Structures are given as C-alpha cells and as structure tokens.
Amino acid sequence: MEYLIGIQGQDFVLVAADNVAASSIIQMKHDYDKMFKLSEKILLLCVGEAGDTVQFAEYIQKNVQLYKMRNGYELSPAAAANFTRKNLADYLRSRTPYHVNLLLAGYDDTDGPGLYYMDHLSSLAKAPFAAHGYGAYLTLSILDRYYRPDLSRDEAVDLLKKCVEELKKRFILNLPSFTVRLIDKEGIHDLEKLTLGAK
Amino acid sequence: MALEDVCSFKERSVQHKWFSFSSLGDAAIPFPMSDHYNLRYSRLETSENNCGVPLHFFIPPLPHSSSFIKRPLSSFCPPKNSMTVQRPFRLAHGTTTLGFIFQGGVIAAADTRASAGGLVACPAVHKITPIHSHLVVTSSGSGADCMLWERILIREIRLYQLRHGHRLSIRATAKLLSSMLHPFKGTEMCVALTLCGWDNGPKLIYVCSDGARLQGDVFSVGSGSPYAYGVLDRELRWSLSKGEAISLAREAVFRATHRDAYSGNNVDLFHITAQGWSQRKREDLKEEYYRDKEKKGKKKNDKLK
C-alpha cells in the first residue's frame, strides 16, 4: 500500500515517499509525511503498521538527538542505521515487535552519501538504490535498468519520475502525491512534490 | 526511554516498553513506580506512564489461543489468575462520527446508536463528549472502552491543568492519549477517537488504539464513514457559513445512517469556536428522512409539470 524509494548519487541521496495515510479502504490523509529527520543530514523513512511507525521512528529520532546532546557530535548515518537495526532486532523476539520497514538516508562528511535498507525482520543492507512496498515490485527493475553510480541530481529526479509513472500506470492503488527530499553536504532539501495521479 | 537516562530515572525491572504481563501474573511485585509528573514514588502499583491508574486495571484478559492475538508472541505466559470470558457475541463497531474544520471553527457530529451485533443495544447514546471547554471528543469502536478512555482523558487533562497552571494543547493531548493507548496495542481493545477543539486555531486530530495519530481537516470514523466521506468530500469548503456547515454535517450523518445498518436514530452536533463548544439539540433522523423524501417528491413534481 505504501511506497518508499531511495536513490544514491555521487554526492547526494534522493528519497521519496507517498503521502497517503490509510485506514482499511479509506484514505484518512492525503498529505501525510513519512520522513523523520534524525539529524541535519539524516532522514529516516518509515512505513508499516499504524502506530508502530511513529512510535519507533520517534524513539530513534529522540535517541539520536540524545547522543548529540551527550557527546557533542552527531551520529554518522552508518552508526544511526546500525543503532536502528539493533533496536529492531531487540524488539523482534519480544512480545511486541515493531512491524516497520525503513529506509535510512544520510550524508557523512567523511564517507559521503549512504542509503540503508532495513525491513521488519531487522535486516540491514547498504544499497545504491532501494524501495519498499508493493510498488517496489514494479519499480526495482526500472532502477536496475537505468541506475548509474554517477547520476546527476536531475537525472536522479528523472529516474524517480520514471518509477512514479510506472506506479501510476500499473499499480492498482491510487497514490496521488509523493514527498521528495534530497540530502547532500549542505543538508536536507525539500524538492517539489510529485503529483502525477488524479488529485 | 531515552529521556529517562538524562533525568536519571531508576532502572525498573520492567521487561520492555511499559510493563510486563508475565510478572504481573504473580501476586504483587512492588515496582517502585514513579508518579509521572511529581517524580515521587508511590506505594500503589501504578503504571508510571499511565499516570496513576492502578496497574491491575491494565491487565487485559489475554485469551489463551494465540490466533486471537494479531501480533506474534514468542515468550507468552498468560497471567495465572486472569481467564478470559468468551463473549456471547462478536463486538461490532457500528457508528458514524465525523468532524471537520471550516472558517467558523470545528463541527463534530455523530449518530446515537449503540449496536451489539444485530441488536440495537441503545438508541440514544452520547458519542460526543466534552473534555474541557474547548475540546470535545467523538468516539467510535467499543462503547465501554471509549467511555473509559474519555473519563481517563478528562482526568489527565484536568490534573495537568491543576499541576501546571495552563491547559495542555490539543496536539499534546492527542500525543498523551496515544501514549496511554499504546500498551494495549494488539489486544482486543478498540478505541477510535477524534479530538475536535480549539487552541490558537481549529484543531482536528484522530487517535486510534492501533496507534495512529493524524491531524487533518476532515475525518470520519466508523462503519458509516465511507458514506459520510462521500457527502463531505463533495460539499466541504473552508468558506462555509455556520448554518451550511451544520446542515452539511447533519446530511452526511443522515446519508450514512440511511445506508449503514449499525448507525442510526439521532444525530448529535457540536460546534467549537474560540469561545468554546456549543451543542445543538439532538435531532431525530426520522424527521430528516421524511423531509428529504418530501423534497425529492416536490422536485419530481416540479420536473413533471
């Protein structure tokens, strides 16, 4: 139902998420933001079960901020991703596991851009591009075909548009708009919302 | 939680998150639970994050069959002294409630039928409850659960106001409610509340026992909600006058009760502005039905002429 996508370039990461907050067959909100800002250069995109997403993402968000307060410097994206995975794994075999699928995107001043794919079984993989949701089945092959490690920003946005157009064409659910953000060494930038579906 | 470390709360023997079912099954392990706001330790076993509500209150009767529980359980030990009583009928969550924001404030509307399966248990229930002078909450889901949580919310908001000298904002109220409902995720408790209120502007926030917390401009909840959305989505605009908004809300509830078997009887309407909430007299939808039929009959006659 929900869709997340991330594309890593040479010196940036482009991420997008749909804007629908649904409850069974009804779209309760059309402008829901599924991205959580962990720090100046790290974004966590979170989809999954209704309450779990916000609870888990806010928990990670506050803990990353706490680390900065205690130690004076921010967690790197790799460290934040591993911390997130560890928390997911700890709760996995408890009585109340979090059923969430995540993409963590960040820019490290030493290592450059990074995109991390995590799923509800707390697997973690650093990937050049990734997607979550039913839409991923339709768009991963497009990413496989057209992705190059040296994509420019405009080319990455075009690739993203290709994926969204495919969803509009073949996905049975209506996902009218997508929030798009770009992370580079300057921080997190909001790009124009993609609205290719019926309003 | 993370902030506890900063505030140096004492490490509890609670397994994770809020509290542990298995340890509560044994007689009384006295957790030194701190009262959330006053940072004192109280003898009464109260769940810290539920602000003074006695713990035994919060042990949901866990059914033995794990197929009942939506979330996978690995180390599940049911408390020894709580056997679930099987319900004689399925819990049905029939209702139509709605709320929307417009230039003149917030409108909250709901039907008044309480159904239990196919029986109309009560035709004149109050599904909209005032919390304080500028906040009402519409409830749907299980009637008993909603009544309980409304009372808990009223108490917590009042306590906060007395302790801190100012009223909690509506967003914070929603977050507080959502946190209080979180321990019950995965159990059979079903509460879906819409907070409709005013604090520095109209606010409408939907909180559900599943954990969802959404702020928006229009929400409709319950078995009749798709029908209500059908009417609301066409006519709703920011620039409605008060009279238009009220008749739109009434029409939406009416159409939903017409189609949905589990909604009906009367409609309650509340209007919230910067000056507070005001309630309209409860209206029987039977009258609305006959009025509508008459209007349609007149239209048909006009067409035939």
pLDDT in tens, A80-113: 999 999 999 999 999 889 999 999 999 999 999 9
Per DSSP, the three-state class of A19 is coil
- pLDDT of B48 reads 46
A28 touches chain B (CB under 8 A): yes
pLDDT > 70: percent of chain A: 98
Name residue B213's beta-bridge partners.
B207
> Distance of CA A16 to CAs A153, A160, A191, Å?
14, 8, 10
Whether the pLDDT of residue B176 is over 90: the answer is yes
What digits encode the pLDDT tens for the residues A3-54?
999 999 999 999 999 999 988 888 899 999 999 999 999 999 999 998 899 9
Residues of B with Cβ-Cβ distance to A49 under 8 angstroms = 210-211
Torsion over CA: A168, A173, A176, A182 (sign):
negative
A26 touches chain B (CB under 8 A): yes
Residues of A with Cβ-Cβ distance to B71 under 8 angstroms = 95-97, 99
What is the pLDDT averaged over residues B158-172? Answer: 95
What digits encode the pLDDT tens for the residues B91-149?
556 899 999 999 999 999 999 999 888 888 899 999 999 999 999 999 998 888 999 99
- pLDDT of B40 reads 41
Whether the pLDDT of residue B24 is over 50: the answer is no
Q: Which of B46, B84, B95, B173 is catalytic?
A: B95
Nearest to B34 by CA among B14, B52, B58, B7: B52
Residues of A with Cβ-Cβ distance to B16 under 8 angstroms = 91, 94, 96
What is the pLDDT averaged over residues A166-182? Answer: 93
Higher pLDDT, B55 or A22: A22
- Residue B126's identity, in one-letter code, is H
Q: Write the CATH number of the domain with boundaries B97-300.
A: 3.60.20.10
Q: Which domains does chain A have, with CATH numbers?
A: 4-195 (3.60.20.10)
For residue B211, give the nearest of A21, A51, A59 by CB distance: A51
- pLDDT of A136 reads 94
- pLDDT of B302 reads 79
- pLDDT of A107 reads 96
Whether the pLDDT of residue B22 is over 70: the answer is no
- pLDDT of B2 reads 58
Q: What are phi and psi of A59, to 5 degrees?
A: -60, -50
B230: closest chain A residue by CA: A26
- pLDDT of B299 reads 80
> Are B210 and A49 an interchain contact pair (Cβ–Cβ within 8 Å)?
yes
- Residue B161's identity, in one-letter code, is Q
The whole-angstrom separation of Cα A122 and Cα B171 is 31
Whether the pLDDT of residue B25 is over 70: the answer is no
For residue B301, give every residue at least 6 positions away whose Cβ sits within 8 Å of its Cβ, in sequence order, or none: none
Q: Which of A92, A95, A122 to mutate to test the interface with B (most CBs of B within 10 A)?
A: A95
Which positions in chain B have a beta carbon within 8 angstroms of at least one beta carbon in chain A? 1-3, 5-6, 15-17, 21, 71-76, 178, 182, 185-186, 206, 208, 210-214, 216, 219, 225-226, 229
Mean pLDDT across chain B: 78
- pLDDT of A120 reads 95
Q: Which of A96, A121, A122 to mutate to test the interface with B (most CBs of B within 10 A)?
A: A96
Residues of B with Cβ-Cβ distance to A21 under 8 angstroms = 212, 214
pLDDT > 90: percent of chain A: 89
Residues of B with Cβ-Cβ distance to A75 under 8 angstroms = none
CB atoms within 10 A of CB B270: 23
**Strand arrangement, sheet containing A35-39:** A35-39, A42-48, A100-108, A112-118, A124-126
Interface of A with B in 79-108 (CB under 8 A): 91, 93-97, 99
Range scoring the smallest mean pLDDT among A68-72, A100-104, B14-18, B261-265: B14-18
A49 touches chain B (CB under 8 A): yes
Residue A126 class from Cβ within 10 Å (0-12 exposed, 13-18 middle, 19+ buried)? middle
- pLDDT of A122 reads 95
What is the pLDDT averaged over residues B243-261? Answer: 92
Q: Does the interface ipTM go beyond 0.90?
A: no
For residue B17, give the nearest of A49, A63, A96 by CB distance: A96
> Are B208 and A51 an interchain contact pair (Cβ–Cβ within 8 Å)?
yes
> Are B74 and A69 an interchain contact pair (Cβ–Cβ within 8 Å)?
no
What digits encode the pLDDT tens for the residues B183-211?
888 888 889 999 999 999 999 999 999 88
Residues of A with Cβ-Cβ distance to B187 under 8 angstroms = none
Q: Quick one: chain B helix, strand, coil %, rounded to 5? A: 35, 25, 40
Q: Is there a catalytic annotation at residue B95?
A: yes
> Distance of CA B136 to CAs A132, B83, B129, B216, B271, Å?
38, 36, 5, 16, 9
DSSP state of B54: B
What is the pLDDT averaged over residues B144-157? Answer: 94
How many CA atoms lie within 13 Å of A146's alpha carbon, on the beta-carbon side? 15
Domain definitions of chain B by residue range: 2-76, 97-300
